[in-house]
Structure 1
Amino acid sequence: MGMQSVAVACGALTLCLALTTATNPGFVVRITQAGLDYAQEQAIATLERKLSQLKLPDISGDSRVLRVGKVHYELSRLRLRDFHLPYSRITPIPNVGLQVSISNAFAELDGDWRVKFLFIRDHGSFDLKVENIYIKILLRLGSDTSGKPTISTPDCSAHISKVRVLFSGKLGWLYNLFHSVIESRLRKILEDKVCDKVAMSVYNELQTYIRTLPVTARIDDKIGIDYSLVAPPRATAQSLDADLKGEFYSLAHRSPVPFSPLPLAFPSDHERMVYFGASSYFFNTAGIAYHEAGALVFEITEAMIPKDVEFKLNTSVFSAFIPQLEEMYPNMPMKFRLSTPTAPFLTVGEGGISFQPIVDIQAYAILPSSSLAPLFLLSLTGNVSAVINVRSGRIVGSLDVGRIRLSLKDSAVGTFQVRMMQSLINILTSSTLLPRLNARLDEGFPLPLLDRIQLSNILVRFHQNFLLLGADVRFQPRG
């Protein structure tokens, strides 16, 4: 093989390795332009308050005035009365981040002046109007080693095109003779201070806030969800996308998932402010985590059967299908233990979420001594579909079970026709097991949301390999 062929082969191998080691997200969050615009409104309101608190230094210097000579001036106690940012625009810049452009901003200040020339001293006050302020801020998005988002300001520029100062007092006319010197100095100070305040606000306010995005969410005492970023957030021409791990895990013991997420063909929807893409990987890791944590084990006794269901869970009832049961364990209460030999595997398609779980049903007779005598072991399979919605920032759902099928895996009471007890098992699962499962699903699983974000106008759509959730957002201030 020639050197060129070796190079081509090595390049192909490198490409293959890169493709196989790339980490696809299990969960995607997309913020559309509408969502960015809303976030900008909230951020600009905060920045406006911060800029109104600017502390400006005293200014002093000397200036020569025609027919007067050298004049020493001092400006002190500069107070910023207002700072308004009426027009702003946020734009995603692909492969860079977000750009915030602020135009036609204006501010008003006042302060005290003091002058000395020849043998004359005087003082008074002044008003300052700053108009046509243009600010451009670049926001770079990243992620730290824990998978939390980060934000920085690699570039900020502020330009003030118009400053008007008016001095009052007996010698105010004198100041007005060299106002251009004062205005130039004030312009430079304000331009620098504005970008300093922007950088400080991004670091203290915005950085702190975006880090409220949960890297992990505890579901209960057994299960958590990993929402860490698998790559820095990326800007496209129309949106900001965040790729999250999207993986359920057992709190007691986290083991590697035996499969990887598939790529998500995210649609270009833009009707809502934010979209969440929950992949089949996301849902299937939930099944694995709950299975490994032993949380998919359920026991059914007669006390758990609703009172309106006329059903007795005892050997007398089941002896109609298993005659020898009454002889071996006459009129004894029974218990069913349901468990999954393997984690359920879900499929997500345009028709919704569905799966065909395999459930082992072990039946016991409860002896007078309260010990358990194994009776028979059934295998149950059936078609299960899920209804999904969003409520209070959580994914909620419910299950619907279609026709179930039974088979006999083992028996300590002889052989019998399993299909004869199909209706009884249907009653048990629909009246007891399904309500318990749906009660848990109704509690929901938290979406990866920043602090004090509320969702509304919910949209739910199914796509191949993932569930798409859309919503508008509202920021809820404290207090």
Structure 2
Amino acid sequence: MSKARNLLLASLLLCLHYSPLSGATGPGFVGRITDKGLDYARQEGVAALQQKLAQLTLPDFSGSFRVKVIGRVDYKLYSLNIRSFQLPSSAIAPVPGTGLKVSITNAFAEVTGDWLVKKRWFKDHGSFDLKVEGISISVGLKLGADASGRPTVGTADCAAHISDVKVHFSGRLSWLYNLFHKNIESSFRNTMEGKVCEEVSSSIGSKLQPFLQTLPVTARIDKVSGIDYSLVAPPVASQNSLDLDLKGEFFSLAHRSAPPFTPPALAFPVDHDRMLYFGISTYFFNTAGLVYYGAGEMNFFITDDMVPKEFKVRLNTTCFKPFVPQLEKLYPNMLMKLQVSPSSAPSLTITPDAISLSPAVDIRAFAILPNASLASLFVIGASTTMSAKVSVNSTKIFGSLKLGKLQLSLKHSDVGPFSVQLMEAIMNYLASSTLLPAMNARLAEGFPLPLPDHVELSSAFLQLRQDFLLFGADVRYG
């Protein structure tokens, strides 16, 4: 089985784990492989199996038959070579509670080899051609997961049947041996049927299963977080598709703990235009916010050198005097520094109309003293509504944010009372010109989809649904 086909099948089988993990919770990431996706896997899998069967090593055959007058003659068939093995017709179907059933019909093969017969007083040899027709193969694949959530696959059952075997001998006395072909054909049929299933089981056990075990169920994003894509519940098989539940959860690399909220129930639609569908819930995004908030990665500092040069209001006590009257008296002509910190982890909401979040942050202002230490000035609470856009390519999901108007309130002041409303325009400008570009730059780097290396998605689309993004795509590999 080629590496490319291994990758493709592993990508699809990753979505078909059948053994739930202990202590599992609801999914933050759900998926569906449609009949179109299963059929694509069938085509690639059968093509790989055809290559393997064409390389079968067949054993030598030996036996004896009785000829009038001559008596019993010993024979041997050796150097058997499969010249062609064709699998023209096949089908795949989900088997609820077990896995997949692959059926192959009307297959045929051509075999060549040499023959040898001997009696005590004579010996003869030549070549033969053998045609095998009406081969049918039925293979059951049992799919599951190990304790870590990695996929497993094994042969649940295999049956092969050959309808017709025809052998033709060539050589000096071949006409005589052709009279006794039925015994040879029967022996070959039994051997060939066993070898076919042996090769099927061997390919699954030695090629596909070890490869599946190399698939990661987590993806490291950066120094702070990773994503857990492990299985949390058995898939549900229907007549046309296989559904799956993945954890779909960001986690801290420093200290992993369970989020204080659970995934929402998702009303997954019945769509079959694409090979593969994912439902990416708010849980997926909100665990990201929780991890980065807990790691302090959402704390930002704004200094004067970050403010665009064309903006006339600089980040110093002189420019802020009109808004905070006591400021320049206490800290004359000093640069300022702002620390922006969320007061809680952001929570994202998805509806059929929009993606939004309503963060609340604290803006702490400091004066930078001549000795470079900081003097606390005031704390402003800011709230806003942000809208988000999400896009995908063949391997990643991306995001971008649009900032709404900040609403300010004074939480604490070390420089006397003042009206924060006068400061709203400045704070809105600073947020949109410094904080927003930094956040969007990170989101533009993207987050990986749960796919193995070299497997990509095409014809992808995104739709907004209640509490989740519906992502559909076809599978391709390269």
Decide: shared fold, TM above 0.5: yes
Q: Which runs of structure 2 are paired with 1:29-428 in the superposition (5 Å)?
A: 29-307=31-309, 309-428=311-430
SS at match of 2:266: coil
Is 395-404 or 303-312 further displaced after alignment? 303-312
Higher relative CO (Cα under 8 Å, sequence separation at least 6) belongs to 2
Unaligned residue ranges in structure 1 (runs of 5+) = 1-20
2:465 match: 463
1:129·1:165 contact (CA, 8 Å) conserved in 2?
yes
Deviation, structure 1 residue 118: 4.9
Question: What CA distance in whole angstroms lies between the structure 2 residues aligned with 1:322 and 1:179?
Answer: 106
1:448 match: 450
Question: What CA distance in whole angstroms lies between the structure 1 residues aligned with 2:325 and 2:365?
Answer: 16
Deviation, structure 1 residue 215: 0.9
1:17 match: none
Question: What CA distance in whole angstroms lies between the structure 1 residues aligned with 2:185 and 2:67?
Answer: 16
Question: What CA distance in whole angstroms lies between the structure 1 residues aligned with 2:411 and 2:266?
Answer: 40
Change (3 A) 1:64 1:232: farther
- The one of 24, 27, 33 equivalent to 1:25 is 27
Deviation, structure 1 residue 317: 1.7
Question: What CA distance in whole angstroms lies between the structure 2 residues aligned with 1:310 and 1:65?
Answer: 112
1:31·1:240 contact (CA, 8 Å) conserved in 2?
yes
Amino acid in the other structure paired with 1:131: E
Question: What CA distance in whole angstroms lies between the structure 2 residues aligned with 1:288 and 1:462?
Answer: 22
Deviation, structure 1 residue 66: 4.2
SS at match of 1:73: strand
1:65·1:177 contact (CA, 8 Å) conserved in 2?
no
1:212·1:451 contact (CA, 8 Å) conserved in 2?
no
Question: What CA distance in whole angstroms lies between the structure 2 residues aligned with 1:293 and 1:82?
Answer: 61
Please give the root-mean-square deviation of Cα atoms over the aligned residues, in Å.
1.6
Deviation, structure 1 residue 391: 2.0
SS at match of 2:128: strand
Deviation, structure 1 residue 337: 1.0
SS at match of 2:97: coil
Change (3 A) 1:324 1:430: same
Deviation, structure 1 residue 446: 1.0
1:456·1:471 contact (CA, 8 Å) conserved in 2?
yes
2:24·2:232 contact (CA, 8 Å) conserved in 1?
no
1:114·1:122 contact (CA, 8 Å) conserved in 2?
yes
Deviation, structure 1 residue 308: 5.2
Change (3 A) 1:209 1:275: farther
Amino acid in the other structure paired with 1:233: P
TM-score by length of 1: 0.92
Amino acid in the other structure paired with 2:437: P
Change (3 A) 1:133 1:299: same
2:24·2:233 contact (CA, 8 Å) conserved in 1?
no
SS at match of 1:178: helix
Amino acid in the other structure paired with 1:62: S
Change (3 A) 1:316 1:60: same
Q: Provide Cα deviations, 1:47-81, integer angstroms capped at 9, x if missing partner.
A: 11111111111111112234542121001111112
Deviation, structure 1 residue 380: 1.0
1:141·1:234 contact (CA, 8 Å) conserved in 2?
no
Q: Provide Cα deviations, 1:215-241, integer angstroms capped at 9, x if missing partner.
A: 111010110111111123342211122
Q: Provide Cα deviations, 1:160-198, integer angstroms capped at 9, x if missing partner.
A: 112121111112222211111111111111111111111
SS at match of 1:47: helix
Question: What CA distance in whole angstroms lies between the structure 2 residues aligned with 1:80 and 1:391?
Answer: 44
TM-score by length of 2: 0.92
Change (3 A) 1:308 1:205: farther
Amino acid in the other structure paired with 2:63: G
Amino acid in the other structure paired with 1:422: E
Deviation, structure 1 residue 213: 4.1
Name the count of aligned residue pairs.
Answer: 456
2:463·2:469 contact (CA, 8 Å) conserved in 1?
yes
SS at match of 1:174: helix
Question: What CA distance in whole angstroms lies between the structure 1 residues aligned with 2:359 and 2:76?
Answer: 82
Deviation, structure 1 residue 425: 0.7
Is 415-424 or 201-210 further displaced after alignment? 201-210
Deviation, structure 1 residue 309: 4.7
Amino acid in the other structure paired with 1:214: P
Amino acid in the other structure paired with 1:270: H
SS at match of 2:292: helix
Change (3 A) 1:474 1:407: same
Amino acid in the other structure paired with 2:439: L
Question: What CA distance in whole angstroms lies between the structure 2 residues aligned with 1:301 and 1:155?
Answer: 68
Q: Provide Cα deviations, 1:13-53, integer angstroms capped at 9, x if missing partner.
A: xxxxxxxx973211112111111111112211211111111
Q: Provide Cα deviations, 1:124-180, integer angstroms capped at 9, x if missing partner.
A: 111112122111111111111001111111111111112121111112222211111
SS at match of 2:470: strand
1:213·1:451 contact (CA, 8 Å) conserved in 2?
no
Change (3 A) 1:125 1:310: farther
